[in-house]
Amino acid sequence: MGRIGRTIAEAGGLSDPFALFKAWFADAQSESEPHAMALATEHEGQPSVRMTLLRSFDERGFVFYTNYQSRKGSELAMNPRAAILFYWHPLHRQVRIEGRVERTTPEESDAYFAGRERAKQLSAWASDQSQEIESRVALIERLQKVEKEFEGRHVPRPPHWGGYRLIPDAFEFWQGYPDRLHDRTLFVLQDGEWRTSVLMP
């Protein structure tokens, strides 16, 4: 069976993982959800994973926003190590990124929250994410209460809501091929430099 496109090495992607991610992310913009990523966290040996959205990235890391009191927020408070995974199926590409997670600055979180739709701002106040509630009706009632409280007013960012930045120390880029001899390239940060290795599929 034939190959699909160039290998990572042939594409010149063996020096800078951020540049390679940027190029692949640009290629994925034709996908319906290019920003979708799986976020894996862990506490006391019990992993958990959920889908979330990448909001921005640069050489400082990969940013997402959530409720600090959610399960992922609670687990990150206890163990700041996490992993994210992007999978762009039609491109036969996957990127796995591991690293340390820290909160974004309050100013960054404020700026992002201010740009959200008002309905989403109100939902951030109404929902104590991951906490139990007696019914969806009760959740709607909480939202209605919040809507009344902020009627005609600016909606500030809740203190329990904000951003996180995953600061990578490892990337793995995977390019799939029909013959199953997939292309895997691993970048690991060592002493401030990215060490590159090719992995067998």
Cβ–Cβ under 8 Å, residues 165 and 60: yes
Name the residue ranges covered by the structural domains of the chain. 17-116+163-199
Cα–Cα distance measured from residue 89 to residue 126, given in angstroms and rounded to the nearest whole number? 35
Specify the 3-state DSSP secondary structure of 51. strand
pLDDT score recorded for residue 158: 97
Task: Please choose, from the candidates 166, 194, 157, 19, the residue with its C-alpha nearest in 3D space to the C-alpha of residue 81.
Answer: 166
Q: Give the tens place of pLDDT for each residue, 46-81.
A: 999 999 999 999 999 999 999 999 999 999 999 999
The reply to whether 3 belongs to the active site is no
Q: Give the relative orientation of helices 136-149 and 118-126 as an angle to the nearest 10 degrees.
A: 120
32 pLDDT higher than 90: no
pLDDT score recorded for residue 16: 92
pLDDT score recorded for residue 180: 85
Residue 1 — very low, low, confident or very high, per pLDDT cuts 50/70/90?
very low
Task: Please choose, from the candidates 125, 129, 114, 133, the residue with its C-alpha nearest in 3D space to the C-alpha of residue 159.
Answer: 125
193 pLDDT higher than 60: yes
Catalytic residue among 50, 118, 180, 184: 180
Cβ–Cβ under 8 Å, residues 133 and 166: no
9 pLDDT higher than 70: no
Q: Give the tens place of pLDDT for each residue, 121-166.
A: 999 999 888 788 889 999 999 999 999 999 999 999 999 999 999 9
- CATH of segment(s) 17-116+163-199: 2.30.110.10
> Average pLDDT, stretch 24-42?
94
2 pLDDT higher than 80: no
